Structure formats: C-alpha cells, structure tokens
Chain A
Amino acid sequence: QVHVVQSGAEVKKPGASVKVSCKASEYTFTSYAMHWVRQAPGQGLEWMGWINAANGDTKYSQKFQGRVTFTRDTSASTAYMELSSLRSEDTAVYYCAREVVLYAFDIWGQGTMVTVSS
C-alpha cells in the first residue's frame, strides 16, 4: 500500500532549526514530486514548496524563501524539510504530500507537529 511516513513531533526554541523527514514506501520515489504543506493550530493549509524527487530541483513559496530547504535521499526514498530561524508563528503541523496527475496531492504523511517555544 502506497504511503509516506513522517518523523515524530519536535519541540524547538526560537531561533533554532528543525528537520522533518518523509519516507515513501511502495512506490518509485523518484517518479513523483513531493510537496510540503503546513497547518497552524486551528488554521487552514499553507503550501510551502516542493522538491523534484528525481533531480532535486526545488521551488519554495515566497513566504519561506531563504528560511526553508528541501532535500532528498533517493537511496532511502526519503524527503526532508528543514526550517531555520524558527519563531513562535512556525508552530504547526507539517505535512509532506505526493503530487500526482494534474498537480493534485494524493498521498499525505501523517503530519509532524513542530512546537516553537522558549
């Protein structure tokens, strides 16, 4: 069964960085782009950007440009999202999601809660 599994919850102090992983299973990892979406508590979905799993090309939302980095390890079928200079407003659930036909996202990770607190 196709699925992606994310790393566990994180608690970070303001100014720190966090790195979230997203491991793909039961499909060819390099055949699909992977997106990152976040959701602050009680809020809607916010697109952060995507990575081409085949060649590593990335595209970041302007809001996160300069603060976020997407990478991938094809040998481990895993994508990573690193967010730096964390502030309290970054407290959210972070999701990875696989892009399929017509740019929709069909497989989502379970989400990773990142809490930024002093």
Chain B
Amino acid sequence: EIVLTQSPGTLSLSPGERATLSCRASQSVSSSYLAWYQQKPGQAPRLLIYGASTRATGIPDRFSGSGSGTDFTLTISRLEPEDFAVYYCQQYGSSPTWTFGQGTLVEIK
C-alpha cells in the first residue's frame, strides 16, 4: 500500500504570503490520480486539485498543483484569510484503493 507523507505538519504564514505544501509518496504514483483537498473546522473536505494540477470547478487560480512520480506540491500563491485550513493529498492506487496523507495545517502567523 502506498503511503503519502505530507510536510510540513504545520505551516505558519501571514495573509499575502506564499504557501508551499509537499506530499511525498512511498512509491511512484500516477500523476493523473493525485488530488488535493481543503478542510476547514466543522466542514467536509473540498476538492481543490485533481490529476495533480487541474483545478476543480470554482477553485481560484491562486491554488496550483504540480509534481510527478513520488513528489507533489500544492502552492497557494498569495494566502487569503479564508485559505487558513488543513490540506490533504490523496492518491488512487491499484486494487483499487485510495489513500490520504496525514494533512498539513496552514495557520495564521
């Protein structure tokens, strides 16, 4: 089973700053099957990025995804107040199975 490790665990930034979140897989993942989600307290997750780099419907262009193989990145170009949340990466693998990373908290500095 593929394990996804996200780093850092917590990212402390100010509004307007750039956020770079990492998701590393224990073995190569098809970039087509890597997604990112945002979750705010008390809410369900929201799909941000699928296929490693395609923004979901209605997602602002300050969110971007990149990467391939075992290393993937979610970048928020300029943090808005509503972007402070927990972010999860997710991959689809053979069997079929789905796996989530443990999450990165983006908090206000």
| A contact set with B: CB distance below 8 Å | 35, 37, 44-47, 50, 59, 61, 95, 97, 100-106, 108-111
Contacts and interface: CB of A to CB of B under 8 A. Distances in A.
Interface stretch (B10-18, B75-83, B88-96): B88-96
Contacts of A101: 50-51
A37 B88 CA distance: 13
A110 B100 contact: no
Interface in B53-105: 54, 56-57, 88, 90, 92, 95-103
Q: Which of B50, B95, B99 has the most CB of A within 10 A?
A: B50
Given A44-B101, A44-B102, A47-B99, A104 B44 contact: no
Contacts of B98: 35, 47, 50, 103
A109 B45 CA distance: 9
A103 B34 CA distance: 9
B45 A103 contact: no
Contacts of B51: 101-102, 104
A105 to B, nearest CB: 6
Contacts of A97: 44-45
A101 B57 CA distance: 12
Contacts of A61: 97
A35 B51 CA distance: 18
